[in-house]
Chain A
């Protein structure tokens, strides 16, 4: 393309849209043929873990993956009649299998891969699901711990996770759409919603976006949501993820859509707003005043995280007038031994803290604690004594790091920590105005963001004062009567308790 063409493309509007060239439309259709044993075996050629058993006396052939199936179920329903049974019993078994009769080779293979057993009897093929993979037991969530309230968390096994939701929501209105993503992995993705509470607009949108994904494998919920993002360049997560079934159920009844990925212990919900990342299910299990106080604390923590170190840099580099009389001498004294300008000093310490955090996260818990002690005491104390940083900066850096961990969502807290670096840089270049330029940029970006097409800053812009009492504070339940406006639910009232 020549330069003039590029320029032309940048400048001039395209008139009329290009016809969509759909590449996925004309795939070879051979998989839809009726299944045959030969074809199936051909498919699983070189898969040494596949089990193929023949029962020539009954004209039955079995194909399955030994490690995926529930042995007991398999032997009770299929193997034992075949091994020991008479002709009569075998035909009875085959009769039972009738509902699982399949006509599509593709379907058969997919089901075998998903833990079914393929049964070939003459020209007929059946696939019977006896899926039971090895499973981790239900345990506490490592990333989202609460003090009061349920402690169980989703596991990697989707059936267990779905069961945890079903157990909490005994309603036939809880609907589950099953989708499959990943051309190789064929990962099962479930979309959950409650009929009559959810706005179908969001379900359809989420479904559409998942169906559009064309990728080899999806390994985690946090991966699939990035394929579904409204704005892929944004630093902020546009879907809320959680490992806690109670949190997810609360989102469901609030009228949001929930998505779960097989093999991932977290579920995502949408549409979501920036402020939702600051609430934890704890807030609802405590008295409302406490819950409100903690929520406010989190917003204060947010301000501290993004601004403390930046303010330190800005004030010590440019705006010395702002320091109160009693503080200025202490500050000067601790700064006077530091050989670098405040900007480098701050970046150095911030990077150190991030290194510590990352090291702590990668190491096993016990060693992680040691790292914490080594980092916290040795580096902090020694750095000040060696004259590499001022002790007031250590306080600023440490408190902003601590504050960042107050934010319940790990993804959000990581994003915010990264933003902090930008603000520190701006503060070092342009002082307070730099910080405010940074904040302006963040707010402009946030206000252009959407989550499943609904505004990311929901109760603030568009302005929904009703929702503020469940976002900035946690009002008593008696006044939390409506579902959040963001979910645009057709069934607005959620609480009719008369008192």
Chain B
């Protein structure tokens, strides 16, 4: 008896109570990518791209843009323009123009982090130029632009041409006192979109950029990775007649950081990285199958890479951004009081950093 009563009660409850927060798939417009640009009067222009998949219309994506004080403010304007319910849960890419980033991304990022529907895996990228134009432009030989950007960023970051930057990582590095966040830069290249180096942030402000040529070395210095390929011109500057060129792939790199404190001297940091790779292409006089000659090439590569690394390091120190996370290692080598007593951002440019990269050829392909 009791059980029947309970059952009936439940049934009635279920019928009486309607859930009302429907997000039925075809009635929602899930933003796939968003762009943020700075316009005058301290306002921002937001553009969004919503993929459409209705077979009855030819449209591939719906684009909206509006200008307003904040991104939430602008959203209300979009909502009036579309028949779909706008939602944020499927955002994959957020693009910020360099101009906006120079001013500070603080408001933007803080705005996103609070939204529970936005995934922490959203990719963040900086656009060299106008972000909205880049997002709204159609590239003939590519997928719809929003997807194209997403996949480009994904592929490039798995190959370590750029660091992987998601909202989670960006925020994490922002909050950590021993490391500063970075983000990839992309730009319009006529027919295509290309990556254009790495943006360096001090807190939420864009302060500098690493060239795309140096991006891989930067990634080596930033952390361990697998995959990725690199080509190097082994010529020294004085003899440019002889062809001397090497390209290696399937890199495996592991990094170690050693911190040394000495009295009355700046902190000494040594970054040691071991890079293993398979040589895919080599144009030059030395024979790879000969151990001594191969070691010679390896040493040459190591030396060139170390030089580059040190150059990057200088650049970072000049800009006072610790994008490599050296502070984390320094912090972990000190007592809490000393660390808090020292202003790392001020000390950082003074630190003596020595990058030692070692290359080792795992194999050298089919030819001997």
Contacts and interface: CB of A to CB of B under 8 A. Distances in A.
Interface of A: 233, 316-321, 323, 325, 328-333, 335-338, 341-342, 425-426, 429-431, 434, 441
A341 B19 contact: no
B145 to A, nearest CB: 15
B25 A335 contact: yes
B6 to A, nearest CB: 10
7 contacts: A316-B25, A317-B25, A320-B25, A320-B87, A325-B150, A333-B53, A341-B24
B315 interface: no
Contacts of B54: 332-333, 336
A425 B14 CA distance: 9
A406 B17 CA distance: 35
Interface in B1-23: 3-4, 7, 10, 14, 17-19, 21-23
Interface residues on B, range: 20 to 34
A441 B11 CA distance: 13
Contacts of A337: 55-56
Contacts of B119: 321
A233 B14 contact: no
A318 B22 contact: yes
Nearest to A430: B19
Q: Is the interface of A mostly helix, strand, loop or mixed?
A: helix
Interface in B32-68: 51, 53-56
Contact of A318 (B23, B55, B150): B23
A427 to B, nearest CB: 10
Given A321-B119, A429-B18, A316 B24 contact: yes
Given A233-B3, A333-B55, A336-B53, A319 B23 contact: yes
A268 B7 CA distance: 29
A320 B28 contact: yes
Contacts of A441: 10
Contact of B90 (A325, A330, A336, A434): A325
A325 B154 CA distance: 13
A342 B27 CA distance: 12
B356 to A, nearest CB: 41
B26 interface: yes
B3 A320 contact: no
A331 B24 CA distance: 11
Given A233-B7, A328-B30, A342 B24 contact: yes
Contacts of A425: 14
Q: Sorted from nearest, which 8 A-B pairs have the closest CB atoms?
A: A321-B89, A333-B53, A332-B53, A336-B26, A329-B53, A316-B25, A335-B26, A336-B54
Contacts of A325: 90, 92, 150
Contacts of A332: 25-26, 53-54
A336 B14 CA distance: 28
Contacts of A316: 24-25
A256 to B, nearest CB: 27
B24 A321 contact: no
B4 A317 contact: no
A233 B25 CA distance: 38
Given A318-B21, A320-B89, A321-B117, 17 more contacts: A233-B7, A317-B25, A318-B22, A320-B25, A320-B28, A323-B90, A325-B90, A332-B26, A336-B26, A336-B56, A337-B56, A338-B26, A341-B22, A426-B14, A429-B14, A429-B17, A434-B19
A36 to B, nearest CB: 50
Contacts of A434: 19
Interface string B83-94: 000010110100
A473 to B, nearest CB: 35
B148 to A, nearest CB: 13
A318 B87 CA distance: 12
